[in-house]
Chains A and B, each alone.
Chain A
Amino acid sequence: DTGVSQDPRHKITKRGQNVTFRCDPISEHNRLYWYRQTLGQGPEFLTYFQNEAQLEKSRLLSDRFSAERPKGSFSTLEIQRTEQGDSAMYLCASSPTPYGYTFGSGTRLTVV
């Protein structure tokens, strides 16, 4: 059981740069979720895929954010023109059903 894998674990970038994160879900899970967690807060929903279809996007996902899941397997989350407020832990989760997701270890983004 390889679990949900996220890469990289940590990313430091300069303000204005673009960054891309990758998530590999558990292989038989057709649902994939992205959440963002800032210090002292619970995870906040960003977006959700069922197979390759992006079914829901949060208002938190500004036009600088884009997520893809091209073949219904791994997913990428790209942030363009990063801002300091984008500094957070970005969590990916997957599930075979709508209930009880399995989370990855997250990607910690620091924008300097």
Chain B
Amino acid sequence: GQQLNQSPQSMFIQEGEDVSMNCTSSSIFNTWLWYKQDPGEGPVLLIALYKAGELTSNGRLTAQFGITRKDSFLNISASIPSDVGIYFCAGQARDDKIIFGKGTRLHILP
């Protein structure tokens, strides 16, 4: 079945640093999505990408849909304490269910 490889598994950074995480797949997706999950809550959609090569920003967040349609990255600039959480990449084939990666746990050191 389809699998997503998300890296890194966890990150420890200083407040103010930039963050980069990525996701690769063995399959082609039509849509790439990035979600954030806080403890005890459901995932919240951050950015949706619908076209190969697309680069989309949402405030300090920037994500790109890879040209091969098998990868995506998410960058967070100038991290702040509320960025702490788990970030999930997710891929979706046409009209199909969303498949999630295992997440990147972001920790911000004081």
Contacts and interface: CB of A to CB of B under 8 A. Distances in A.
Contact of A99 (B35, B88, B92): B92
Contacts of A48: 97
Residue of B33, B95, B98, B101 with highest tally of chain A CB at under 10 A: B98
Given A99-B48, A99-B50, A45 B99 contact: yes
Contact of B100 (A44, A104, A105, A108): A44
Q: Chain A binding site: helix, strand, loop or mixed by DSSP? A: loop
Contact of A98 (B44, B45, B92, B100): B92
Contacts of A91: 42-43
Interface residues of A, number: 22
Contacts of A45: 97-99
B102 interface: yes
Interface of A: 4, 33, 40-45, 48, 56, 91, 93, 98-106, 108
Q: Which 10 A-B pairs have the closest CB atoms?
A: A42-B100, A103-B42, A98-B95, A45-B97, A100-B48, A43-B100, A106-B42, A105-B42, A103-B43, A42-B102
